Amino acid sequence: MRVVFKKSYDPDIDLHEHGWSRGKIVVLLGIMILLPFFVGEYYLAEAANTLIWALAGMGLMIAVGHTGQVSLGHAAFLAIGAYTDAALMNVGMPFWVALPAAGIVAGVFGAVIAIPAVRMSGIYLAIATLAVFVIVEELVILLEPITGGVGGIMAPTITFFGISFDRYGELENFYWLTLGIVALVTWGYANLMRSPTGRSFLAVRDSEVSARALGINVTRTKSLAFGLSSGVTGLAGALMGHYIGFFNYELFSIFISINLLLVVTIGGLGFIQGAFLGAILITGMPQVIAILRDNLNASTGIDIGSIPGLDTMLFSVILILFIIFEPTGLYGRWLKIRTWFEIFPLARRDMFRRQKSYLKTERMK
Amino acid sequence: MSLLQVKDLAIHFGGVKAVDGVSFAVEPGEVFAIIGPNGAGKSTIFNLISRIYEPTRGTIHFDGKDITGLKAHDIARLGIARTFQNIELFDHSTVLANLLMGRHTHSTTNFVQNMLFMPKVRQAERAHRKRVEEVIAFLELEAYRKKMIAGLPYGVRKVVEIGRALAIGPKLILLDEPASGLSVEESQDVAFWIEDMRRDMGLTVLMVEHDMSLVTQVSDRVLAVANGRPLAMGTAHEVQADPQVQAAYLGTPGEEAA
């Protein structure tokens, strides 16, 4: 077990308590930066896709994982981000204006939606956000001059300082751009969570009544969280648009919303790391299934590719298993494994047993 | 001038008069206790003062200011902190984080500054931590700083809740049954802390409590309520000797026969 000798409050305020964990992040970032030199075009594109999903997952994590607001409508914010970015670039705005604008438009839209919606919670909020999603989908079709309607829209090639970040032409550049944006957002997110704002999110999630008693304006906090959540998802949407290249409203289906929820739930609710683990699982699973299918077909002649809906079924099974056996998600499981090693041989089976909380009879919402 | 002045306070839930015409004034530096049988409306009075409930009638003045029209989240800023009868902590955070959440009213940085974690934010964090450490030292919570609330024993959670209220830096602290469910030693600790809060921190304490030994030990004045109506007010001994209070707790002699 690591004991950190502290001489001031700063190690507790810092993102990392000690140099070792800071070093791990640096190494990870280094590997990610050097990735284009090690993997081929196909896997690099997959890595970029995973990063985009992780970004969208972080967006949803702010709402679901850290403020306790379930949203089934986050595909709408992806769409708003993607269309805002593409539309602005199509009228000649540079990417560095269009991308933040996409985030801001999606964020402001989310915050405005949230003001009436945050009065609801749980399943009711989920249904309300689903309604928002349906409205946005219709709007996308109706606003044909901007969105291209049913036909779709082209996301222009990103260029600045004369360098192309085209997803097909200059994949490495596009990957590095995505990585940079994801790293920046992750840093901001982690900062937020160690500041008073992040603490007020957690307070609202765990007990609204005592959050109020501490002077936290619950409605404002929830709208801020939902707005930030939508904004980050909007950024992911803009990148997703560039990644796909040409898209219409069908890209942002309800299944994207559900997959995003899977990302945060399987990844680990309430952990930024969870968004990344969930994104790796959700984007990696189809690849693993495809490889398995090919191998199985080649070696035994059994063609599981002919079974319709296999991916979806596997996802569902994984989700159910997680909810039953590991509600804290992949990251929660990792924490348990790590603790087991750190305090070896003192770990006990019931150390992580969830405690039932009694005396919650008089909860006031 | 009284720090807290409650006048003719009433709240009716449909036909149920949970609180009906309660008046009292708490003087600065006083320990004021409200007692009464279960369902008397004690916690409801607390919820009215902390603005969770909207009173049907009556006014609440704090520090000479009418707070009856304020929102629940405005109360802490004025210097009123509270604890809850059924512990309302943030279960998935550490003790330290819970206490830091008590500093919310003192944070001056906005979310953009926080996201960039500007030097100003770090300075503010250090200052918050320093205040929280004072609370930790006062309540002897050093061993639990980094522990999650969800895994803590009941007695410690009770203390953390008092700590979180103290972290606000209040003038008036409302303690809703601070000793319920505690062992004799633990409630003795609570008694000492209440004494210290008053003497060393200059706090005014308003508490609801069933444990009469604690009430007798620490409170200057006691208000007894039953069925939402005030019965008697005075020192703990005076109130306990009051025939109406005894009747409310024990029933009227001959009631069974009738």
Q: pLDDT tens across A321-342, in order?
A: 887 888 788 888 888 888 888 7
A359, B86: Cβ pair inside 8 Å? yes
- Residue B253 predicted with pLDDT over 70: no
> A233 near A28, Cβ under 8 Å?
no
DSSP B177: S
Euclidean distance between CA atoms A348 and A357, whole angstroms:
21
Task: Give the per-residue pLDDT at B39.
Answer: 85
- Residue A81 predicted with pLDDT over 80: yes
Q: pLDDT tens across A290-304, in order?
A: 888 788 888 887 776
Out of A36-50, A205-219, A301-315, B223-237, pick the least confident.
A301-315
Euclidean distance between CA atoms A147 and A141, whole angstroms:
7
Pairing state of beta strands B229-234 and B221-226? Answer: antiparallel
B90, A207: Cβ pair inside 8 Å? yes
Task: Kindly state whether B103 is in contact with chain A, defined as any CB-CB distance less than 8 angstroms.
Answer: yes
Out of A101-115, A339-353, B68-82, B142-156, pick the least confident.
A339-353
Task: Give the per-residue pLDDT at A355.
Answer: 47
Euclidean distance between CA atoms B29 and A227, whole angstroms:
44
Chain A residues in contact with B88 by the CB 8 A cut-off are 207, 209-210, 213
Annotation: CATH topology of B1-79+172-258: Rossmann fold (3.40.50)
When scoring B114, B132, B134, B180 by the number of chain A Cβ atoms within 10 A, the one with the most, hence best to mutate, is B114
Task: Give the per-residue pLDDT at B204.
Answer: 96
- Residue B28 predicted with pLDDT over 90: yes
What distances in angstroms separate CA A344 from CA A1, A340, A348, B244, one per listed residue? 8, 6, 10, 63
Euclidean distance between CA atoms B108 and B106, whole angstroms:
6
> What are A296's two structure tokens?
């199985």
Sheet holding B172-176, edge to edge: B80-82, B172-176, B204-208, B31-35, B221-226, B229-234
Task: Give the per-residue pLDDT at B255.
Answer: 54
B109, A359: Cβ pair inside 8 Å? no
Task: Give the per-residue pLDDT at A358.
Answer: 42
Euclidean distance between CA atoms A181 and A175, whole angstroms:
10
Pairing state of beta strands A159-160 and A163-164? Answer: antiparallel
Closest approach of B257 to chain A, Cα-based (Å): 36
∠ CA A196-A119-A203, nearest 5°, is 25
| Average pLDDT, integer, range B81-106 | 93
Chain A residues in contact with B145 by the CB 8 A cut-off are none
Chain B residues 142-171 with CB within 8 Å of chain A: 150-151, 164, 168
pTM assigned to the model: 0.90
DSSP secondary structure of A141-205: HH-HHHH-TTT-EEPPPPEETTEE--TTTSHHHHHHHHHHHHHHHHHHHHHHHTSHHHHHHHHHH
When scoring B49, B54, B83, B84 by the number of chain A Cβ atoms within 10 A, the one with the most, hence best to mutate, is B84
Domain boundaries, chain B: 1-79+172-258, 92-169
Percentage of chain A beyond pLDDT 70 is 94
Buried residues in B183-213 as b, exposed as e (16+ CB within 10 A): eeebbebbbebbeebbeebebbbbbbbebee
Q: pLDDT tens across A235-254, in order?
A: 999 999 999 988 888 889 88
Chain B residues 105-124 with CB within 8 Å of chain A: 105, 107, 109, 111, 114-117, 121-122, 124
Percentage of chain B beyond pLDDT 90 is 80
- Biggest CA–CA distance in chain B, Å, is 75
Task: Give the per-residue pLDDT at A352.
Answer: 64
Side chain identity, residue A288: V
Q: pLDDT tens across A95-135, in order?
A: 999 999 999 999 999 999 988 887 887 788 889 999 999 99
Annotation: CATH topology of A39-349: ABC transporter involved in vitamin B12 uptake, BtuC (1.10.3470)
Q: Find the CB nearest A13 among B52, B102, B125.
A: B125
Mean pLDDT, chain A, rounded, equals 87
Domain boundaries, chain A: 9-35, 39-349
Q: pLDDT tens across A188-239, in order?
A: 999 999 999 999 999 999 999 999 999 999 999 999 999 999 999 999 999 9
Euclidean distance between CA atoms A259 and A82, whole angstroms:
18
Torsional sign, CA A215, A218, A223, A226:
positive
| Average pLDDT, integer, range A177-182 | 96
Buried residues in A321-356 as b, exposed as e (16+ CB within 10 A): ebeeeeebbbbbbbbeeeeeeeeeeeeeeeeeeeee
Closest approach of B107 to chain A, Cα-based (Å): 7
Task: Give the per-residue pLDDT at A293.
Answer: 79
Task: Give the per-residue pLDDT at B110.
Answer: 93
∠ CA B70-B128-B152, nearest 5°, is 90
- Residue B212 predicted with pLDDT over 50: yes
What distances in angstroms separate CA A357 from CA A16, A293, B87, B92, B150, one per listed residue? 31, 45, 10, 12, 8
Chain B residues in contact with A188 by the CB 8 A cut-off are 115-116
> B163 near B139, Cβ under 8 Å?
yes
| Average pLDDT, integer, range B64-91 | 92
DSSP secondary structure of A97-113: HHHHHHHHHHHHHHHHH
> What are B46's two structure tokens?
């607390």
Out of A165-179, A194-208, A312-326, pick the least confident.
A312-326
- Residue A255 predicted with pLDDT over 50: yes
